[in-house]
A and B are shown apart, each in its own frame.
Chain A
Amino acid sequence: MTSGELEAIEIDLLLEAVFRRYGYDFRSYARASVVRRLRLLLEQSGIASVGELIPKLLHEPAFFQELLFAFSITVSGMFRDPEFFRSLRENVVPLLKTYPFIRVWVAGCACGEEAYSLAILLKEEGLAAHSTIYATDINDQALAVAKEGIYPLRQVREYTENYQKSGPHDSFSRYYHASHDHIVMNRELKKSITFANHNLVSDHVFAEMHLILCRNVMIYFDRELKDRVLRLLDSSLIRGGFLCLGTKESLRFSCGDGRHDEIDSKNRIYRKRVLEAGEGRTR
């Protein structure tokens, strides 16, 4: 048996152990990324093999938190894919403005960069007072970072460049203050976002949303899990609501064609139809 095959067994056992001990199910995650994350964790913790991680995980809940943090992909950046945010302003905001109040969900928000980007956008578009942003993740450690709204100063140049390309009405520096080697997002922005723990793999429908962003989250799921999560997102969306995925995510709505319109195919913005295909035909 090769060392790779041996490691594959160890990983199967580890994922099973994590599921049965803590209820977090990573068995349906895309494997290559899981392997990478586990190897990084081994390196960081000075442990020789995946197998040796198992007893540590079973007996030390604090160590499990480390694994959870390693497994949640916590890098996204503010205004990642500026074109997407520009399209959101141009194609989605005008329709959101027709509602007296909107609920927005950033599903899989990790450390919150995407949620803050959206909060800035809604504020600039005059929707801040008429909206609530829910930002959820499975990882409490990441959520704690998100609530603090503190990011490394070295990222700011990239964030600012992205922001400037997103069709902004202001200047990015208005939304944070810098201190030492980090920036802190404005209190007002923080207050506009409700961060909460939610597990897309095992939890249920969140609420009736007008807009859902779930970008670069399902790229880590296998096909079956992705389909399941897509159905969950779809059930959480009002009719006429918008779903946004990562720009490289292949979307085939396996949960029923003819139920969604493509608003912007390049930027992966979809709208749930007000009437499903076939509905309203008989009068």
Chain B
Amino acid sequence: MKKYRAVVAGCSAGGMQAVATLLAQLGTSFRLPLIIVQHLHREQGEYLFRFYSSSTHLKVQEASEREKILPGNVYVAPPDYHLLIEHDETFSLSVEEKVNFCRPSIDVLFESAADVYGPALAGVVLTGANSDGALGLKRIKDCGGLTLVQRPETAQFPEMPRSALLCVHADQVLTIEEIGRFLMTLKPEAAY
């Protein structure tokens, strides 16, 4: 059976509720790191973590540079920085130009995660009103990773999942609750 080392997820408009719903499906037995890029206004920061922490027992935190990525933790990209993953499985940040008018950009995270984790990565695209994440998800697929997309008609803003589906033949197209339950079935690598 295929084993996994990390899950990356991206969302934009409607993302707060979507992530909270996803987190609510993840029990403490979830043993993968979940790394999220969400397009946010920088003011939303602190409220967001309180809100997410109230939906899950997993530890939810802002990803910080050079931090070691650990299983069972939920990381959210800081506003106004791209979030990337290094080969030693630590985070790095960048203030490079916006991608798809976004910083952080889902594509940037997904592409660097695909480089590091290859087939041991699962990528999730949720609700949003733009097309960020589509190319990144394609890269995950090309590197042998697992691709999941929220079923567009169940998304608050269907454009982002729709764009992803135009770009990638996704492995799973599910509701958020189903995605959460599916992630729970992923088998972590033995090192975790």
Interface residues of A (CB under 8 A from B): 2, 4, 30-33, 35-37, 73-76, 80, 216, 219-220, 223, 246, 248-250
Contact = CB atoms under 8 A, between A and B. Distances in A.
B66 A36 contact: no
Given A33-B96, A76-B95, A216-B95, A249 B65 contact: yes
B161 interface: no
A30 B83 CA distance: 12
Q: DSSP majority for the B interface?
A: loop
A249 B81 CA distance: 11
Nearest to A76: B95
Given A30-B84, A36-B96, 10 more contacts: A31-B87, A32-B85, A33-B84, A36-B84, A80-B95, A216-B95, A249-B65, A250-B65, A250-B66, A250-B67
Interface residues of B, number: 25
Interface in B108-146: 108, 111-112, 115-116, 118, 143
Contact of A73 (B95, B98, B112): B95
Interface of B: 64-67, 78, 80-81, 84-87, 92-98, 108, 111-112, 115-116, 118, 143
Given A32-B85, A36-B84, A36-B108, A220 B94 contact: yes
Contact of B94 (A2, A33, A249, A250): A33
B93 A4 contact: no
B139 to A, nearest CB: 10
A249 B78 CA distance: 11
A100 B92 CA distance: 40
A4 B94 contact: no
A73 B96 contact: yes
Contacts of B94: 33, 36, 73, 219-220
Given A75-B95, A76-B95, A248-B64, A32 B86 contact: yes
A36 B86 CA distance: 12
A32 B118 contact: no
A30 B115 contact: no
A162 B58 CA distance: 35
A216 B78 CA distance: 13
Contacts of A32: 84-87, 92, 112, 115-116
B86 A31 contact: yes
A2 B118 contact: yes
